[in-house]
Amino acid sequence: MARYEINGGKPLEGTVTISGAKNAAVAILPAALLVSGKCRVENVPDISDVRILLDILEGMGVKLAYPEPHVVELDSSEVQCTTPDPELVKKMRASYYLMGALLGRFGHAHVALPGGCNFASRPIDQHIKGFLALGADVDETEDYVALKPTEEGLHGARITLDMASVGATVNIMVAATLLPGQTVIENAAKEPHIVDLANFLNSMGAKIRGAGTDVIRVRGVQNLHGTTYTVIPDQIETGTLMIAAAATRGDVVIHGCIPTHMEALTAKLLEMGVRVTENDDSIRVRPQGVQRAVNVKTQVYPGFPTDLQQPMTSLLCMANGVSTVSETIFERRFMHLDELRRMGAHIKLMDHSTILIEGVRELYGAPVTVTDLRAGAALIVAGLMAKGVTEIYETSYIDRGYERIEEKLRSLGADIRREKLS
């Protein structure tokens, strides 16, 4: 257990480098199960979700090596296990990606249902819809999902998702890679980590086209070969640091990012009156007078990411005027509001998906508790903005998705300390 202690009000200044993308890494690492060979994955973020996932894979017989920081070598040649350790699986949400990888490699899977962030219900009916279409027999209970081939066997299929689900797109794409025939995923998610996963699979010899559009075509191949692959920089960490720079009216260069992944947030910051300039692989955020209130509506990529809704809400707490934030992806992704109100924010819940934020002149430090990963990001941003000291508890949620965030912020001049509690 640990807590962050932030003495707010200091502008962030300097350059910070982004880590590898959590949501790409947690999709790519299980996909290494598909190949009876060695994969070298670089720029892997050192976060607890990745560490848990690697523990799960090792427990299944994947041989792991860590030749240098942020590099993992995985050899799945000896793997025969199709039932990952349920106690570990329950610790992180993306463990459901093991279903697609095991179905694709072995035709069987028995995976406990995951835990992860507790905002909103996190159904997997679209994943199941995909597995059924691919010819799997699905035994789904409250505790696990078990997959095996039906009599007709596993095969490619055309699947139209009811909504552009990131998780379902990942699971179906991975499961289909080694299946005979063609699989077409319609209404597919287009997030950068979907493209990164497709690039990783294609670097192993898969035949996947259309990732990044809403129609992905997978032509099944007989087998794959090992590869070396570098994970893209984390779009959400980039956005969180952009927001923190604006929130503290600092001057920060975020290095090693992909500006085109950030367009929805960049546009909103520019609309607020924040100065944002882009280079090939860096973004600079500087203040420029009054920060105006704006309206934000979360959408699937390339719209405003739901994962940035919470830190953006903190920034809007001190904007000039009244902002609205509409969360269209996850219902009730507002568990951070009470904590922000404790710091002096004026936020009204209009209905289950929309809030009204009346900008205030000051936020005040207070003891606050993290309820989910991106709520943690919101509370860090608010603590950096607030007058006085903010103590942030339950920081383990933050460790799931941000690598050494307190060190990165301290290197930018933030007065933030991490204190062990027990």
Can you give the binding site for ligand EPZ, defined by CB under 6 A? 22-23, 26, 93-94, 117, 122-127, 163, 165-168, 189, 191, 306-307, 329-330, 373-374, 401
Which residue number, 156 or 192, has a Cβ lying nearer to ligand EPZ? Answer: 192
Closest separation between CB of residue 388 and ligand EPZ, Å? 28
Structure tokens at 31: 């996909």
What gap in Å lies between CA 33 and CA 215, rounded to an integer?
Answer: 25
Which residue number, 293 or 340, has a Cβ lying nearer to ligand EPZ? Answer: 340
Helices (H), 248-284: 263-272
Which residue number, 199 or 291, has a Cβ lying nearer to ligand EPZ? Answer: 199
| Shortest-Cβ-distance residue relative to ligand EPZ | 167
What gap in Å lies between CA 336 and CA 80, rounded to an integer?
Answer: 43
Closest separation between CB of residue 420 and ligand EPZ, Å? 25
**Among 375, 325, 374, 313, CA closest to 350:** 325
259-277 burial by CB neighbour count: b if 16+ within 10 A, else e?
Answer: bebbebbbebbeebbbebe
Q: Are 232 and 24 in contact (CB under 8 A)?
A: yes
SS3 229: strand
117 is catalytic: yes
**Residue among 39, 81, 117, 257 flagged as catalytic:** 117
Q: Are 365 and 387 in contact (CB under 8 A)?
A: yes
Q: Are 262 and 242 in contact (CB under 8 A)?
A: yes
**Among 240, 289, 239, 291, CA closest to 260:** 239
Q: Are 101 and 62 in contact (CB under 8 A)?
A: no
Which residue number, 22 or 342, has a Cβ lying nearer to ligand EPZ? Answer: 22
Closest separation between CB of residue 340 and ligand EPZ, Å? 18
Which residue number, 1 or 163, has a Cβ lying nearer to ligand EPZ? Answer: 163
Structure tokens at 109: 């899977």
What values do phi and psi take at 185, rounded to 5? -105, 115
Q: Are 109 and 145 in contact (CB under 8 A)?
A: yes
Which residue number, 307 or 399, has a Cβ lying nearer to ligand EPZ? Answer: 307
Listed in order, strand segments (DSSP E) in 38-187 are 38-42, 63-65, 72-75, 109-112, 136-140, 144-149, 158-160, 182-186
Question: Which residues are tagged catalytic?
Answer: 117
